[in-house]
Amino acid sequence: MSGQTAKIASLCECGSVAVRQVNQFINHGELWWDAEFSCDSCGTYLCEQAGPGTAPDDVREALLAAHGPAKLRLAGPVASLVPAMKVFREVSAVSLSQARELVERLSHDGVVGTLSEMELLTTRLQLRGVPVDIDR
């Protein structure tokens, strides 16, 4: 399992264009993300965020733009989709109807997200006996 990194241009207080480097990865079986801000002009360096949880939209968008989306699909027949729904509810904290929709997508077009998000789902789904594959 490997993480992904992206760089986002961001304006520094000194007026220069600085860089926010964002990372998303799996740590102890949980999705983590972090962000650090660094400005070459004035030397400002900040660790903005480091911790577990779903990354905010701007971070996810930067990762998706840099690496492209990963697509998760059902890799074989399953007797029941209930275990998959449980995983989506646990991992993505979605409602029952959203979980049902995600499972539906899993067996048709695929569920799309960042590679780390899909890797986490793969691990959790396989633990529950749901066969899945990531298309990259």
Which positions lie near Zn ion, rule CB under 5 A?
12, 14, 16, 39, 41-42, 44
Q: How far is the CB of 13 from Zn ion (least distance, A)?
A: 6
Q: How far is the CB of 12 from Zn ion (least distance, A)?
A: 3
Decide whether 16 or 126 has the Cβ nearer to Zn ion: 16
From 7, 11, 18, select the one nearest 65 (Cα to Cα): 7
The CA angle 123-125-129, to the nearest 5 degrees, is 110
Decide whether 38 or 123 has the Cβ nearer to Zn ion: 38
Decide whether 42 or 93 has the Cβ nearer to Zn ion: 42
Can you tell me the distance from the alpha carbon of 4 to that of 16, in angstroms, rounded to the nearest whole number? 26
Decide whether 14 or 82 has the Cβ nearer to Zn ion: 14
From 57, 18, 64, select the one nearest 40 (Cα to Cα): 18
Structure tokens at 5: 């990194």
Q: How far is the CB of 48 from Zn ion (least distance, A)?
A: 14
Structure tokens at 24: 């998303």
Decide whether 12 or 112 has the Cβ nearer to Zn ion: 12
Q: How far is the CB of 98 from Zn ion (least distance, A)?
A: 41
Q: How far is the CB of 14 from Zn ion (least distance, A)?
A: 3
Q: Would you list the DSSP string of 45-81?
A: EEEEEEEESPPPHHHHHHHHHHH--EEEEE-S--S-S
